[in-house]
Every structure is written in C-alpha cells, then in structure tokens.
Structure 1
Amino acid sequence: MNDPFKEAGATRKVLKADEEAAGRLDSWLTAALAGDFSRNRIKSLIEQGAVLVNGAAVTEPKRKVHPGDVIEVGLPEPEDPVPQGEDIPLDVLYEDDDLIVICKPAGLVVHPGAGNWTGTLVNALIHHCGESLSGIGGVRRPGIVHRLDKETSGVMVVAKNDAAHRHLSAQFADHGRTGPLERAYQAAVWGRPRQLRGVIDAPLGRAGDRTKRAVKREESEDAREAITHYEVVERYGEKPDSTCLASLVECHLETGRTHQIRVHMAHIGHPLIGDPDYGLAFKTKANLLPPAAKVVVNAFDRQALHAYMLQFEHPASNEIMHFEAPIPDDMEALLQALRALD
C-alpha cells in the first residue's frame, strides 16, 4: 500500500478529536494546528491525500469530524519564518529616529504568517528601515504595535527602537482612555443606523472560523470588551421615511479588537459594503441601486473601511502627533457613485 505522506514529503502528526469535535475536516485541522497553516493550505493537503482519518485516506475537505476520530496529517517542511526585506513602495507620512508613520494600502498584509510569508508591510519596512526596527515584536512583527486588516487601508505607526515600541504599545493598550491616543475610521455601510450617533458596546470573541469574530455574551469564556463610537456623516439614496440605501459612518475605537468595526456594524444591521465575511447577506442590496452605481458597488471587492486618522504621543518628545490620510481612490469612487443617488 502506498504511503499517502510520502509524496507530500511531510512529517507525520497524529491528532485525536475530543468529545466536542464537530464541523468540516479542513476547518477542524486549521484550528487544531493553531494557525500554523492557512485553511487553503490544509484543504490542499487533504486533496493531495496527506490526511488519514481512522487509518483511511480522506481527500474531501468537507468530510465531517466526529468525537474520537484519529487524524493523521502529513505536515510539509515549515517555510522560512524570518522575513526578509523587499522593495515594496511605502506611502510614508512621517519618519524620524524613533518611529515611522505610513498609509497602508488595501491588499497589503501587515506581518508574515501562514499563507503570507512574503510581500507584507514588515518585508517593506525591513527594506526601508534596515536594522533600525524595534525587535520587541519578534522576527515576524518587528516594530509592529498595532495592525489593520489586509483589506483595510489607512494610517499606521511603527516603532524603530525598543523604547519607542514600549511607549507606543502602552498607549494602544490604554486605548486612549487616559492619554491622547485616538483612532478614527470611515466606513461605507448598507442602510442607515436608526440613531445617527451612538455607541456599540458588545463583547467580541472567536466565531466558528478561527479567523472570524462574533458578538458574545459577557459570560462567555472568550468574550472581550469591545466598544465602538459611531456617527453617520453622509446618507445616500435617502427615502421619505428617512431610511437610506447606504451611509458613510465615522467610527472611533474605545477598544481595539480584531474586526471590531466590521462585526459591530453588522451586529446593528448595517454591515460594511464589500465585506466578504460579515456582509454577504446584504450583497443583493446592490440590486436596488441604479445601473451605474450597481456596477461600481459590485466591483468593490473589499470591506469599505479606511483608518483615516491616528493621534498619539511621540515616545521621545511627548509631542502630540496627529495624522490623517485621504480616502483611497477605490473607496472614493464608491462614495461618488453613492453620492450620485441623491
């Protein structure tokens, strides 16, 4: 009998599903391997025959996992975890010996990880800054004190030495409650919140997919405090009953959880336009738009979210630093199409 692991050139790892195991094999394995490999990579390994369940090869990623299943997986040699500098253009808003402030474009991953070992912001920063980046974040996240989702654009600050890293990290950990740190985002959402200004106070935790988040009950083990302040600044396609087809919302974070704005806006019934994770149920809303706007909205292939403002205290001079970045061209084109509704 052929060894299904031989072709994969892999190291054999044996896992046993616990009594609460459920769901798809590819999803379960991705979570069980603690994020070492992306779900797409795990799916590929299954399809290659590099996974056995109870001694039998399984090539269907959708195969259900049951309590007690013994799962063997052939893990390929790990990719080089030490990022190298790459000549990737950076939009630098400010730079000195302590820090660098950039405007991250949509589509750029912040730091290397499973499925994204190259082509990240960290690779660009290593090339641009050389060895001056702070090492506190580790080899994969040098200088990184906060992050933006891959498809979210906007202002970020990166530490260039360890003292700056500690100072900036403390400000982000405090979330601006006792200091000058402030973060503001612009988001294009479906519909219009009933209240034009409000606060969303809803704890977040992991959803079924390890990469996603969901609103949780406060007593949930993984629930983390999450507070978003929002204000509607523009309304598009307003109707006589004061409802709208879409809105531009400004959000200020009081906490900084993964996907916070995206989950919170979806939670109150107004997901971000283009959001592939939390707004798919609203995708057909584009059918209510005039043809010209419908084309633009359907072509917008990311969440309409831009971190337009960042304010913090400089770690060396204690000066209050304030930076703003204009909405990028793709999102501006989306807003112009929505403004044309009126």
Structure 2
Amino acid sequence: MFASSDGLCGIGELAEGAGVTVKTVRFYSDRGLLPEASRSAGGHRRYGPQALDRLRLIRSLRALGLGVPEVRRIVDEGHVEGGAGGALEAAVAGRLREVGSELRALRWREAALRLVQEAPPGEQADRLRLVGAVSVPPSTAPLVRFWRGWLPARMPAGAVGAFLDVAVPQPPDDPAPAQVLAFARLNALTLGPCPGTAQPQPEAHRAAGARGAAVLYTGLAEAYELAGAHLRRGREPHPGEALDGFVAAYTSAYGMRDTPGFRRRLAGQLAADPRLDGYWELVAEVNTAPGGRPEPTPGTAHDWLLAALAAQTGVVPDQGTSPRQSKRRASPGLGA
C-alpha cells in the first residue's frame, strides 16, 4: 500500500487506507494506541506498514463500544487474527454485560411508557408518580431494606439470605406494563412510613428469638413448598404433611411438643398477628407473565396452611387490616 521509498506513510494516506478521518488517526496516536514510526523533516507523522492493521483493529473494537483503556490493553497484548487474547475476551464479556443491562433498562422504560399511555382517565398522574420513584434499571434495594428491618435482629446471615431469596421478587427482564405497575407499587409499599416507631412484628419473632427464628423460617420454607404443590392443583386446605411440617416449624423454634392444645394456641396467635397480604399479592403479579398462571407465594402458601390449621382447630382467622395499608398485615415467618 505504501508507495514511499522508506516503506512509511503519512497520516492522510493511513487515514484513507483505513477509511477514517485524519482527526481520528491523530486522536489514537496522541493516546498512544497508534505509535508513529518517525517524523518527517517538517515534523509530520510517519507510520509503518503494521499501522494499517492496527488501526483497523482499533476501529473494530471501538465499533463494539469498547473504551479507549480496554482497546489499549487489547492492542498492547498483541492480539492477532485467529488468536483471541485474555484482554479481548474480558472486554467483550464486560461489554455484553453492559449491553444486557442497557437492554433491560430500555425494555423497562418501554413497558413503563405503555403503562402510562394505557392508563384509564384520571390515573396517569398516579402511575407517573409510582414509576417515577423506581430506578432504571429497577433496584430491589428498598425491598431488601424493608425486610431486613422486619426480620429479628441478629438473625444468622444465611437464614436472612434464604428468606430474602423468596421474599424479594426480581424485576422481569422483559416486563409487561402490569408487572411494572406491580413492582412500582411494591417499591412504594416498602418505602411508605410505618405507624408508630417500628414495623409491626409477629409474636413468633419475640417467642423464638434470633436463633429460633432461623429454625422457624427454614421449617416454614419446607412447609410452604408442600402447600404450594396443593395450590397448583387447586386443592382446598386440609390436614396432612404440609400442615404437620408447618406446625413442626413452630414447635422446633419454641422447643415445645405438637399437641392439640398447642395447635389451637398457634392458630389463635397466627390469626391475631399482623400480616402483609398486599405485599404478597403484588409479588404474585410481578412474577406472573402475561397470560400465565400465578405461582404460589409464601403468602398464599401461609394462608392455605393457616386455613387448614383453623379448620382443624376451629379457630377462625382474623380478617382485619393494619392502619398502614389496606390488606396489609404482617404474618410470622415467610407468610409475612
């Protein structure tokens, strides 16, 4: 390509060969990405034969959205065609993660815009307020903070993590407008002020303590999984393995025996405890794809088990609500 006797070319010839502007070549040269072979007597930049391939590589990497520092690491590693180096692999993987995050944010914005566009008359302002309070991409941090404040103090980290895995729904990557609305309402629910100075705590937290609560929540998770299988089949609440496991979670945490009297007292305690039914209803909406069948949540599983316990003991569950929000009551364990 280079017609000069010394095998070098000027900046204009190099730019033309690579299909870029002289300004672009100068930019990369000034940042050390494209070293000059020499300078002419007049001070003009001169480049060697390898500069063209290097410039084309730089242009390709930049077209993928890679930053100058990443491009420098790749070209300095001596990347050649047919042999992808570690710097290239790391940069491409990182850029893929960034693009994925950008796409999720765009899909969330699109669904949020449709949510506002499709709002019934008089509801646009309320929906704007709700979705405007959610970060993009959406964060679960407010929900996590809420539950960490609700769980017993000094509860083992492993038990807390296991609870958060089921209690905090992940925002869908490609949400429908209804899922955006449900997540935005969850966000507002957990950021809202509590009446008094603290969140309402169930009796189970005080009776079991931090260590006992870990035992309790582990047992409840197993019972909720069994109850979820009945819910998926549309079965009515009834005694059986799921209910026995539910009660066993409390007897293990309290260090007591499973007797008819204990079950009656437990049913009465759970019926009187505060609950968060509204939270779990929104979780179900977030987790349900359009046209899909709602999956059981810890809240619906807890209600199924409590109904089975009430039917067995004759204790009628309390249907009252707390002052914080309609249908918001906080039950013990994962059924909160």
Task: Confirm or deny a common fold (TM above 0.5).
Answer: no
Rg larger in 1 or in 2? 2
Higher helix share: 2
TM-score range (shorter-chain normalised) is under 0.3
Higher strand share: 1
